[in-house]
Structure 1
Amino acid sequence: MKKKVLAMLLGWGLVMTGLAGCGGSGEGSSENSRPESTDSAEKSEESSQSSESGSDNEQADSERPTVSFVFTKGGFEGCPDNDVILQKLEEASDVVLDHIAPPSANYAEQVNVILSGDKSGLPDLVKLNSAMFNDLYDYVDQGALMDMSELVKQCPNILENVPQEALDRCSVDGKLYAIPVFCSPNRYNVVIRQDWLDNLNLETPVTLEDYHEVMRAFTFEDPDGNGQDDTYGMTGLSMETFDFIYGAFGAMAPIPSYNAASTYWYLDNGELKPQVTNPKVKEALETIRSWYEEGLIDPEFVTCTTDDDLNNKAMKNQFGISYHWWTWEPKIEAQLQEVDPNISFRRIAPPVGPDGQSGIRGVGMLNGCVVMLQGAKDPEACMRLLDWMYSEEGMMTTYTGVEGIHWQKNDDGTYVTLPQYEEDAAWIQWYSAFEAEWPLLQVETPLVQSRRDSFNWPTISNDGDGLITEAEVEYGADLQAFAMEYYTNFITGKTSLDEWDKFVEEWNSRGGTRWTEEINAEYKDKRG
């Protein structure tokens, strides 16, 4: 499959403004983040030691190859200069990291700008996020990427920790052109206000009917006790809000959400069919439409599209149930408890539907990839850095910080954070270019239980994951916008569900039929 070439409109000179992230020379010291001593002699000694350490680091840097790497860890921006995590990364991988970090809000646009610049100023490595993965084929077609097939043979951590299927998805004509950002499917949780359940003496909902009754109480029985009619049973981020309701019917939301760039597909008698026209989705929409009509669903769900939007609603006690990426709830709960320590969230199983089915969104195997450009100055150094990032030490460091400063391993084998972890929590994952399951599940951090709980729920995954077609490139965006409009109107009652067949027919005529034909051809070809 050859994707249409992107239009490159801007030059390298426009890129450098605001792109440079923390990083560079690796002169960081843990002294930067520790309380300053009040003893002058002690200060002098520390200053001398720091100066000697800095000289040693400068000498080491002059002997290390520099690797320029474009990637941004969204949500973890703002690390200090010369930090100890960067120092550890550079020492362990024996490189100097030139970290170029475009704003996460328009990352894809900025990367395309960077890659359209002066050839002499191009970086060595670039991360393509999940929404950009298809661009991999463009860059291969243009001859812009390094073939890593032989280089990866010297990377034991990548070969051990990345499934072959994930590597295969980053290969074209048998050649490896990217290192995958591999991740597991379980990333979402259904979240409920436990304090509201307690206030109303309600049990944890299990079935879809239970959820309905709890949502009705959360909407009409003043769960926060403020005497006002200002709460809803549920809200969320746009169409992502309803994932777990689709799951109760054995289907999955067909609209792109927090971590889904394209429509989901399901297998029916060996043939891939789009979830967007799945008859089971229509059944789910009937339930959602009914709940919306009752007033149980926040009517602003359509315009709630960012974490800030959702956080604002949480701060105002506007909803009792939501559903989101696993990192969201622990963070907002901590903020809310600073105002009211009695507020309590809880992660619960998604509802069981009328046929005993249940599930949340299972995300794709790849959350992007890292490519090496043809002009990379030191390919071996680049691969050494990437391999270290996939090592146990690399995963621990880029996700949790430096051993002995941010975390420690106890005699009983457990991993716990140290006080400095909390001090640096806002930026501690700044250098995490890959997903790292192992430290997320091992280390006792404020987020870890949410991550562990997400593995408890059944997932409904995309059976067409990793299959790319010309039709998707040509029609996908328009079809998604078309479906988004129809689904919103179905839910809000502007369009009757009696027009479902009309919607399906038009979706197919707008390119859906060709998309379905091409993805099935890809599927059969992959299966041999």
Structure 2
Amino acid sequence: MKITRRITIGIAVLASASVALTGCGTAGGESGGSDDAVTWMAALHTPTTPEPGGTIETALEALSDTDLEFQWIPDASRDEKLSAALASNTLADIVTLPGGGITTVVRALTSGQFWDIEDYLDEFPNLSQIDPQIIEAAKINGHLYGVPAQKPKARYGVLVRQDWLDNLGLEVPHTIEDLSDVARAFTNDDPDGNGKNDTTGFYDRSESFDIGFRSLSGYFGAGSVFELTDDDDVVVSYGTDAFKDAMEWYRGLYEEGAVNGDFVTVQKQNQQDGVAQGKGGIVVTGLFEAKNYAALAASSNPDGPMSWALINDITYDDVPRRILSDTNGGMGGWYAVPKTQVKTEDELRKVLGVLDSLLTEEAFSLMTNGVEDTHFEFDEAGAVTILDQTLWEQEVQPFSSSRMSETIVTYPSTLEYVDEGNEKIAENDEYTVVNVAQSLTSETFDTRWTEVQQDIRDAYNKYIVGQLEMSDYESVIDKLRAGDLGKIEEEYTAAYAEVNG
């Protein structure tokens, strides 16, 4: 939702001398909080910790009608501190747990330490409106062990040099076939007009298998790492016909020089620099990156800044429009409630009420921008300007990683491509494809997936550059299926059947 009106936290809220303390009777418990407060073990991604009782904390307390005590966990020591707190039952009433399938987190959530909150969500006006697909993505083996931290579901797309398209008289591509033609033209037809054979189409990097090409494979119909067959078997997407069709297509472009030949060794910064220097004209990346590429190019070549077409609707053959999620289906983690701290359903409802009150525009603005006229101001178009960067970094920025959702408000921007990128990312929601195994558990996955995926990644790289043939790649998949990969697929299939039986 795009907001251009002002969101103002009233003076009475900020100056409130006393706040109704309606936290849990057991809140704090062994974690050392006061009997009245709701304690929150929150992630800290900044060098500084806000002062207790500061402006933002006080305003959040007023919005939630609760005394809040934040226990900040620096990101660098997150795993160690969370593991210690889980083992010693010294948790807070709310525990911020990261997403991404981290084994220790999944094991903790499925250990019985945290409340399954799904049946309570309908009692709250904001929690009940969480996107059902995000709810499903946040479940583990059919259980919702915390309020999901919400993110955009799919942020990726294809960035194509618009100025090069214009130079060559080409239209913006919206199909794989047209994208292929553009890649070839960018390679062979001197799109920058310098008379040299020094450009390519796709400018990829070493994470091709995990990021760039993976996103492209989705257009062919491949799933997001794991997918479901017609017989309800969970299988790895890397072995499907759609994924292999995409590999054959991409290798063909590579052989024609339409993919940079050194992509296997190119790191992200090298990719960004290469694109800014005009080495390639197509990048598969986050749609939010267009502004960064434009800024980088302008700083290195102010007389000839590049322009970009942002594309989020590439299709192939008769495959319906789709985009693979790069954010676990919009699920950025959990705000989990431990049973050791919050012991009754009434106490759980109080904690969920706090979280519900923070799933609002007012709370989002506080935790994103701060207090209007103190930390930021709106211009006439509704764009945000930070008034004091140092003050904002000290008092506001630490709270941004505790926002219930990143998508409550989208503020207009004065930077080129930001609004367009945000609009297209929002459009992606309708077409997002999520990893079907994300909400399932597999012991073999926990212990062996890193090695399995690396073997497949190596085979992919060797196939694209011509060191392996497709039969060799298939042999790698078959060999892995005879071992750990086969166990993973079997365990996920059994878990899916148990949840959906």
- Residue among 261, 269, 273 paired with 1:312: 273
Q: Which residue of 1 aligns with 2:332?
A: 367
Q: Which residue of 2 aligns with 1:389?
A: 358
Q: Which residue of 1 aligns with 2:220?
A: 249
| Total equivalences in the alignment | 456
Asked if the contact 1:399/1:439 (under 8 Å) is kept, the reply is no
Q: Which residue of 1 aligns with 2:412?
A: 444
The one-letter amino acid paired with 1:430 is S
Structure 1 distance, partners of 2:478, 2:188, is 39
Answer yes or no: is 1:353 the counterpart of 2:326. Answer: no
Q: Which residue of 2 aligns with 1:505?
A: 478
Structure 2 distance, partners of 1:201, 1:428, is 48
- Residue among 339, 344, 348 paired with 2:307: 344
Q: Which residue of 1 aligns with 2:132?
A: 163
Change (3 A) 1:409 1:419: closer
Q: What is the TM-score when the length of structure 1 is the normalising length? A: 0.72
The one-letter amino acid paired with 1:434 is M
Change (3 A) 1:282 1:164: closer
Structure 1 distance, partners of 2:499, 2:67, is 38
- Residue among 383, 386, 392 paired with 1:420: 386
Shift of 1:402: 4.5
Structure 2 distance, partners of 1:518, 1:467, is 9
The one-letter amino acid paired with 2:220 is F
Q: Which residue of 2 aligns with 1:126?
A: 95
Q: How does 1:117-266 map to 2 (within 5 A)?
A: 122-132=91-101, 134-140=103-109, 142-145=111-114, 155-163=124-132, 166=135, 169-170=138-139, 177-183=145-151, 185-225=153-193, 229-236=197-204, 237-239=207-209, 240-252=211-223, 263-266=225-228
Deviations 1:446-487 (A, max 9, x none): 533212113445444434442222332243222211111111
Structure 2 distance, partners of 1:99, 1:199, is 56
Q: Which residue of 1 aligns with 2:74?
A: 102
Shift of 1:186: 3.2
Deviations 1:24-59 (A, max 9, x none): xxxxxx9xxxxxxxxxxxxxxxxxx9xxx99x6787
Unpaired segments ≥5 residues, structure 2: 1-8, 22-33
Aligned residues: CA RMSD:
4.2
Structure 1 distance, partners of 2:162, 2:73, is 39
> Helix, strand or coil for the counterpart of 2:40?
strand
Asked if the contact 2:172/2:309 (under 8 Å) is kept, the reply is no
Structure 1 distance, partners of 2:266, 2:348, is 43
Structure 2 distance, partners of 1:291, 1:416, is 44
Shift of 1:330: 2.8
> Helix, strand or coil for the counterpart of 1:250?
coil
Structure 2 distance, partners of 1:523, 1:379, is 29
Q: Which residue of 1 aligns with 2:498?
A: 525
Structure 2 distance, partners of 1:399, 1:206, is 35
Question: Bigger CA drift: 418-427 or 370-379?
Answer: 418-427
> Helix, strand or coil for the counterpart of 1:186?
coil
The one-letter amino acid paired with 2:473 is W
Structure 2 distance, partners of 1:500, 1:213, is 27
Structure 1 distance, partners of 2:490, 2:38, is 47
Structure 2 distance, partners of 1:101, 1:235, is 38
Answer yes or no: is 1:494 the counterpart of 2:459. Answer: no
Asked if the contact 2:135/2:148 (under 8 Å) is kept, the reply is yes
Q: Which residue of 2 aligns with 1:328?
A: 289
> Helix, strand or coil for the counterpart of 1:437?
coil
The one-letter amino acid paired with 2:448 is Y
Structure 2 distance, partners of 1:86, 1:227, is 60
Asked if the contact 1:469/1:515 (under 8 Å) is kept, the reply is yes
Question: Bigger CA drift: 426-435 or 197-206?
Answer: 426-435
Asked if the contact 1:102/1:110 (under 8 Å) is kept, the reply is no
Structure 1 distance, partners of 2:388, 2:271, is 24
Structure 2 distance, partners of 1:332, 1:323, is 12
Structure 2 distance, partners of 1:496, 1:325, is 31
Shift of 1:285: 0.9
Structure 2 distance, partners of 1:300, 1:435, is 39
Asked if the contact 1:267/1:463 (under 8 Å) is kept, the reply is no
Structure 2 distance, partners of 1:324, 1:107, is 29
Deviations 1:302-354 (A, max 9, x none): 34555x45433333333211122333223443443455373212212454334
> Helix, strand or coil for the counterpart of 1:320?
strand
Asked if the contact 1:140/1:177 (under 8 Å) is kept, the reply is yes
Asked if the contact 1:220/1:229 (under 8 Å) is kept, the reply is yes
Unpaired segments ≥5 residues, structure 1: 1-29, 31-48, 255-262
Asked if the contact 2:459/2:473 (under 8 Å) is kept, the reply is no
> Helix, strand or coil for the counterpart of 2:127?
helix
Deviations 1:37-94 (A, max 9, x none): xxxxxxxxxxxx9xxx99x678769998363322256xxx467956865553343234
Deviations 1:386-410 (A, max 9, x none): 2223234333443455567646699
